[in-house]
């Protein structure tokens, strides 16, 4: 059995979405993910063991692993500490920002509408933050 190559980390604020995606794809993990075998690939347990981990704990770990973060934050540009952590650790982040991305279903809808673009972003070097809605994927100015 081959090891899985994780490429995406779904933040605890949308843990339901993370569990759905991690159950379907070997390249997605989330905090507290015990790992699994899927499609003859083994995904190891997530090194972020608790959904209660604070940003300063998990952002460096996820950024060092080279994973793209999927989170939910309509007001991402107002959270300077998070932006500073993204820049400092050269993290890659996509924030679901649609006002209706409040349930696992609507979050999944947003991610699926933008999946091809999100997948391409996973290959780019950080730091960056993109805002995702069902109809757009927009790069944000980190200055």
Per-residue burial over 12-25, b if 16 or more Cβ lie within 10 Å, else e, is bebbebbbbbbeeb
- pTM of the prediction? 0.95
Residue 37 has pLDDT above 80, yes or no: yes
Q: Domain ranges in the chain?
A: 2-139
List the one residue out of 9, 56, 6 whose CA is nearest residue 32.
Answer: 9
8 in Cβ contact with 68 (< 8 Å): yes
Residue-wise pLDDT for 90-141, tens only, equals 999 999 987 878 999 999 999 999 999 999 999 999 999 999 999 999 999 9
| Tens digit of each residue's pLDDT (9 = 90 or more) over 50-74 | 999 998 899 999 999 999 999 998 7
Cis before 53 (ω within 30): no
Q: List, in sequence order, every beta strand (DSSP E) within 50-134.
A: 68-72, 92-96, 128-132
For residue 124, give the nearest of 43, 78, 66 by alpha carbon: 66
Instruction: Provide the pLDDT for residue 122.
Output: 97
As given in the structure block, the two tokens for residue 13 are 């604020």
Laid out side by side, the sheet with 2-3 consists of 2-3, 41-43, 36-38
Tell me if 129 sits within 8 A of 93, measured CB to CB: yes
How does pLDDT run across 9-28, given as a tens digit for each residue? Answer: 999 999 999 999 999 999 99
């Amino acid at each position: 059995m081959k090891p899985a190559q994780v490429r995406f980390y779904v933040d605890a604020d949308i843990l339901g979405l993370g569990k759905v995606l991690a159950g379907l794809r070997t390249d997605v993990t989330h905090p507290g993910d015990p790992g699994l075998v899927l499609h003859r690939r083994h995904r190891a347990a997530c090194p972020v063991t608790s959904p209660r981990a604070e940003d300063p704990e998990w952002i460096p770990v996820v950024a060092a692993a080279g994973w793209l973060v999927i989170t939910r934050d309509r007001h991402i540009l107002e959270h300077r500490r998070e932006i500073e952590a993204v820049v400092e650790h050269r993290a890659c982040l996509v924030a679901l920002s649609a006002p209706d991305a409040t349930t696992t279903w609507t979050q999944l809808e947003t991610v699926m509408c933008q999946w091809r673009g999100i997948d391409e972003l996973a290959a780019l070097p950080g730091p960056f933050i993109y805002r995702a809605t069902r109809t757009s994927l927009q790069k944000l100015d980190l200055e």
